[in-house]
Amino acid sequence: MTSRKGSETPAAAEAAPAEVDVAIIGAGMAGITLGALLGKAGRKVALIDPHRIHHEEFRAEKIGANQMQLFEKLGLDKMVMPLVTPFTDVDVFRLGQFFAREKKWEYAFSYGALINGLRDALPPQVPITVGKVTEVSTGPDRQRLVLADGSVVNARLLVVATGHSEAIRRAIGVERVELSKAHSLSMGFDLAISRRDCAFHAVTSYGKRASDRVAYLTVFPIGDRMRANMFVYRTVADQWTRDFRAEPQKMLRELMPEIAAQCGNFEVASPVEVRQVSLTTTKGHRRDGVVFIGDAFVTTCPTPGVGIGRVMIDVDQLHSVHIPRWLETPGMAADKIGTFYDDPVKVASDEDGMRVSIYAKRITTETGLEWRVRRLRNNTARQLMIIGRKMRHLGPRREPGLA
């Protein structure tokens, strides 16, 4: 059995249920959705977070149809849909030219508002306990948490869903391993143009030159606002980043003149929020009584937009496959928990997330011969598609004249 003190300062805690099947630390995307599913399945759950209201922070701001299908599969779409802005018809620009109009649906939101809305929609049997965990003891049979107000939660299983936060991971003795430090930079800001006046429902414009180190800019509606996310391979300290934060309009007009006029000349209506993201995984997590999920286990890059999907695969596999089996028999030893970390669906999801995160950076920025050839091949194929589309577009208009 391990027993270590957490390092966070104490805060007032609501009464937590004393005996539960599953204690979940962290009421973000992973913790709330797992808590809701376990609660609906009749499990006794304690869901603990230091804050009742999730603060506004720049995180995921949209998901695609595949990710929404995961919520549908889990019966959570009714919780999610009222909190998002659905849109379709995304105009995609590549090589500075119109490339395609994507008809698939996407769903936009502010992360804090989404998490708070999901918390409000939790079933009554899954209340959030507001408090800080100050002591964690894990073992092959029972898990024990002590909160800052002295209350104690005993559980058969402990789920750590604390995202990027390190306090609980450290208290348990689990290490974060950086696979790619400062891998990318995500930037988020509001455009001044209204949704009604914007020429696009939504637009995605990819970087043109490796030296720009821009993956893409995406502009999309959240309610009545037009929001922009830009993903670049730079650091917060780069002069480029400082210049962008000081003069986003000027730099956007230089980078993407082809869509500037339709986006209100890129007049920006909010500060530019910036988040540096590293690719990380976890070491020392195979232990009795505790399982790590979502960003508390692995972090991938926002550029390919796979984070929420990865979180929901963890939640789905745990809720539908592993936790029911684990609770069926006595004990909660490390070999039982290991079946989750070895689950081929979970392993493939984490590996895919990491693979696309690394590939997206290399195909955008690498200057070695192999990558220059790959870019040339991809760009030639895209250029041919653009020419082909233009010719097809001209074709039918000529036909009447030819007849």
Ligand X SMILES: Cc1cc2nc3c(=O)[nH]c(=O)nc-3n(C[C@H](O)[C@H](O)[C@H](O)COP(=O)(O)OP(=O)(O)OC[C@H]3O[C@@H](n4cnc5c(N)ncnc54)[C@H](O)[C@@H]3O)c2cc1C
**Which residues in this chain contact ligand X in the complex, by CB under 6 A?**
8, 25-31, 48-51, 54, 58-63, 132-133, 161-163, 165, 167-168, 186, 275, 277, 294-296, 302, 305-309, 311
CB of 364 to ligand X, least distance (A): 16
Nearer to ligand X, 295 or 316 (CB): 295
For residue 87, give both structure tokens.
Answer: 């849109």
Beta pairing partners, 222: 225
**CB 197 within 8 Å of CB 264:** yes
Nearer to ligand X, 133 or 337 (CB): 133
Nearer to ligand X, 51 or 389 (CB): 51
DSSP annotation of 343 reads -
Nearer to ligand X, 28 or 264 (CB): 28
Q: Using CA atoms, how far apart are residues 50 and 204, in angstroms rounded to an integer?
A: 37
**CB 27 within 8 Å of CB 116:** no
Q: Using CA atoms, how far apart are residues 277 and 180, in angstroms rounded to an integer?
A: 9
Nearer to ligand X, 46 or 60 (CB): 60
3 state SS for 177-189:
EEEEEEEEEEEEE
Nearer to ligand X, 265 or 270 (CB): 270
CB of 206 to ligand X, least distance (A): 16
Closest-by-Cβ residue to ligand X is: 28
CB of 394 to ligand X, least distance (A): 37
Sole residue written with tokens 């950076």: 361
CB of 273 to ligand X, least distance (A): 8
CB of 314 to ligand X, least distance (A): 8
Q: Using CA atoms, how far apart are residues 367 and 233, in angstroms rounded to an integer?
A: 14
Q: Using CA atoms, how far apart are residues 199 and 354, in angstroms rounded to an integer?
A: 35
Q: Using CA atoms, how far apart are residues 7 and 293, in angstroms rounded to an integer?
A: 21
CB of 161 to ligand X, least distance (A): 5
Measured in degrees and rounded to the nearest 5, phi and psi for residue 155 equal: -140, 155
